[in-house]
Structure 1
Amino acid sequence: MPTYTNDPTLPTPSFPGSHMVIDDHYVFISGLTVADLSNGHAARGDVKEETRLVMRAISRMLEMEGGSFADVVRVDIHLTDLHTLQELDGVYAEHFDPGRYPARTCTESANICGGCSVEITVMAKRQHQSAQ
């Protein structure tokens, strides 16, 4: 049975959803933007800094479940401007071992919640499966 949980270091979601849904095999992390972070407001509009802060929050959430970016199997990214993709990629790639990048979708979305430039969603394999 899935567990629905929120990261206690983040503000409660302003949407009807959870930060994370965890089952026996995967950790699903809802799309995160800097607007979802208590310290992210000053970063809005700076794709590199938005990406850095969101990836840091995702890393912390993965660690809460005993995982890391090495366990990530899929990432969905939304950018308000695909012309900033190289800026995002420069920060994004720092979190993965070269040649071990997860499957990824990246789209341009004209409006991202909170007036942000980047939103990132993650699916990761769980390290610790519950006893059955």
Structure 2
Amino acid sequence: MNVTQIKKQLGYLCALMLIASTTSGADPVIFPSAKYPDYPFSEAVAYGGVLYMSGDLGTDAGGKLVEGGIEPESKQTMENIKTTLKRHELDMNDIIKCTVFLADIAEWPVFNEIYASYFEGGRYPARSAFAASGLALGARVELECIAALQSGDE
């Protein structure tokens, strides 16, 4: 087994350990989407001390995609994440993992600069980024985050 294969196996093991450690036997707490009540997903689900947030786009309060491309969409997406966290009495420092979906991976540097500005002191969550085709509403970016709940927030 080479180093890459070992790292991959360790990643799988860590993910399984996280799932096992967060399984408390309690029912998940589901938070419906206020912005998109007619769509079949929840804004977030709390379970086992973790808040799993649905992917968010750079949409305004009315659910309309902001204009101007990757930069304004990225800023609005990050603000939307902050707003969701605030509703759950959390902040950006509580995020432990993000997954980024970009319509064009060439726009990653622009998104990355904006993303980095939302985290204090270089304290960044784990993150993956993918190029994706056909994001909802014709968006340039979608961001999905997982946050650690503070004790008793479930």
Q: CA RMSD in A?
A: 2.0
Higher relative contact order, structure no. (Cα contacts within 8 Å, ≥ 6 residues apart):
1
Give yes or no for contact 2:59–2:77 (8 Å, CA) kept in 1. Answer: no
Overall identity of the aligned pairs, in %: 23
State which of 58, 61, 67 in structure 2 corresponds to 1:34.
Answer: 58
TM-score w.r.t. the length of structure 1 is 0.86
TM-score w.r.t. the length of structure 2 is 0.75
Shift in Å, 1:47: 0.8
Q: Deviation digits for residues 58-84 of structure 1, max 9, x if unmatched?
A: 111111111100010000000011111
Equivalence for 1:108: 131
State which of 37, 40, 52 in structure 2 corresponds to 1:12.
Answer: 37
| Rg comparison, structure with higher value | 2
What is the number of residues matched between the two proteins?
128
Amino acid in structure 2 at the alignment position of 1:38: G
User: Aligned equivalents of 2:78 and 2:59: distance in 1?
Assistant: 13
Unaligned runs of 5+ in 2: 1-26
Give yes or no for contact 1:51–1:91 (8 Å, CA) kept in 2. Answer: yes
Amino acid in structure 1 at the alignment position of 2:126: A
Q: Which runs of 4+ in 1 moved over 2 A?
A: 34-37, 39-43, 128-131
User: Aligned equivalents of 1:13 and 1:54: distance in 2?
Assistant: 20
